[in-house]
Structure 1
Amino acid sequence: MGCTEENKTVLGTYVLRDEANVWWKNVKLRIGMEGVAIVWE
């Protein structure tokens, strides 16, 4: 079964977005509601 380049792009975007959402949920669980201070030094 072949896919067009557009369909491949749509699927790839969906997969990456889903993985990013899972990652972000895990980050929020680790840092908690207080957050964390980011220092650039």
Structure 2
Amino acid sequence: MRCQDEHKARLGGYVLHDEADHWWVNANQRLGSGGAVITWA
């Protein structure tokens, strides 16, 4: 993807945020309401 150097950090943040959102939706669907605790460790 082409973008100016001064916009690369913003674009990178957007891409990572979008990927994290997709992961979170998928994780919530798989875990359902089973009461599983997600830890970040």
Structure 1 length normalisation: TM-score?
Answer: 0.71
- Counterpart in 1 of 2:30? 30
What letter is aligned with 1:8?
Answer: K
Q: Deviations over 1:1-41 (max 9, x none)?
A: 6612x300000000000000000000000000233146xxx
Q: Gaps spanning 5+ residues in structure 1: where?
A: none
Q: Gaps spanning 5+ residues in structure 2: where?
A: none
Moved runs in structure 1, 4+ residues, more than 4 A?
Answer: none
C-alpha RMSD over aligned residues: 2.1
- SS of the residue 1:34 aligns to: coil
In our comparison, the structure showing a higher alpha carbon Rg is: 1
Structure 2 length normalisation: TM-score?
Answer: 0.71
The total of aligned residue pairs comes to 37
